[in-house]
Amino acid sequence: MEYNTIYNLEVSNLTKTYDTFTLDHISFSLPAGSIMGFIGENGAGKTTTIKGILGLIQKKEGTVRLFGKEYAKATECELKEQLGIVFDECRFSEMLSAAQVGKIMASIYKNWDSRLYSHYLDSFSLSEKKRIKEYSRGMKMKLSIAAALSHHPRLLLLDEPTSGLDPVVRTEILDVFLDYIQDEKNSILLSSHITGDLEKICDYITFIHQGKLVFSNEKDFLMEQYGVLKCGKQDIASLEPSLICGKRTASFGCEVLVNDRAKASALYPKLFIEPASLENIMLYYGKETAL
C-alpha cells in the first residue's frame, strides 16, 4: 500500500458467526478517490460484510474505520452523514413520490442538497410527482442512487445496485459513479455479480469465497496475474499444484485457473494460457467442475 494513502474505509478482521456460516476475519482498505468491486458467490458473505460495516449486525470480532475514525456508537451519527447507501431493492415506501422522498431526506441529513437532488431527478428523467409504485425497477434504482448522492457523502456503499437492469440503464448509472469519484476524495464499495461492469470502472477488487477473503488488490494487477490455462486431461497431473486455483474438466480437455500467468507460461510454454476475467476467477475459484 502507498505511503500516506488516505483511506475512506478500513475493515480489519471483521468476523460474524451464524449457525451455518462464518464471515472469517475479513480485512481490506478502500483509498479515497477510487472504486472497489466486491465480488463472491451467493452466500459468500458480501451483504453480511456491508451490514457489519454499517453496524447493522453484532460482529464477533474486528474493527471498521471510516475516514480514519472507528465506527462505533459515539461516532455513528457523524459518520452516517458521510455515507450514501443503496441496497438491491428500493427501500422507500412505494406510496411516496420522489418529491416526498426529498423532503424526508432533507429532515434526516444536515447536508441535504435539494438542487443536486433535482439535478439527478432531471438527469435520470424521473418524475417528482409520480408515486414510486409507478416506477420501473431501473427508475427505482435511479431514485435510490439520487437520494444516496444528494447529501454529498464521501463514501457510497452499494449492494447489487445494477442487478436486473438493462445495459443502457447500467451504463448510465456507471457513468454517474465515475463522475462521483472525480474529485479524488470520494470512494465507492460496489458489490455486484456483473463482473463486466466492475472491470470497466473499478480500481480495486475484493473477492470473498465461503466467508473467507481470497484477495483484495488492484484490478489491473489481478487481470495481469491470473490466467486460464487450457490443456488435456493427461496434463493436469504435471501442473505445479501451487499454481492451480480451480479447474473445469470436459470431454475435450481442461481449463485451469492459475494464480501466476507469467510463471505458468514459463513452465509450460507449449500450453495455451489466456488472461482471466473476473468472471473466470469467480466461476473457477476453489472448484473442480466436470462439464
Domain 7-217 has CATH 3.30.450.40: no
For residue 259, the model assigns a pLDDT of: 95
For residue 1, the model assigns a pLDDT of: 45
Reduced 3-state DSSP string for the chain: CCCCCCEEEEEEEEEEECCCCEEEEEEEEEECCCEEEEECCCCCCHHHHHHHHCCCCCCCEEEEEECCEECCCCCHHHHHCCEEEECCCCCCCCCCEHHHHHHHHHHHCCCCCHHHHHHHHHHCCCCCCCEHHHCCHHHHHHHHHHHHHCCCCCEEEEECCCCCCCHHHHHHHHHHHHHHCCCCCCEEEEECCCHHHHHHHCCEEEEEECCEEEEEEEHHHHHHHCEEEEECHHHHHHCCHHHEEEEEEECCEEEEEECCHHHHHHHCCCCEEEECCHHHHHHHCCCEEEC
Whole-prediction pTM value? 0.91
For residue 110, the model assigns a pLDDT of: 93
For residue 288, the model assigns a pLDDT of: 67
For residue 289, the model assigns a pLDDT of: 57
For residue 291, the model assigns a pLDDT of: 46
Q: What is the mean pLDDT of each run of 10 residues along the chain (291 residues)?
A: 78 95 96 96 92 90 92 77 89 94 95 96 93 92 94 94 85 93 95 93 96 95 95 89 91 90 95 94 78 46
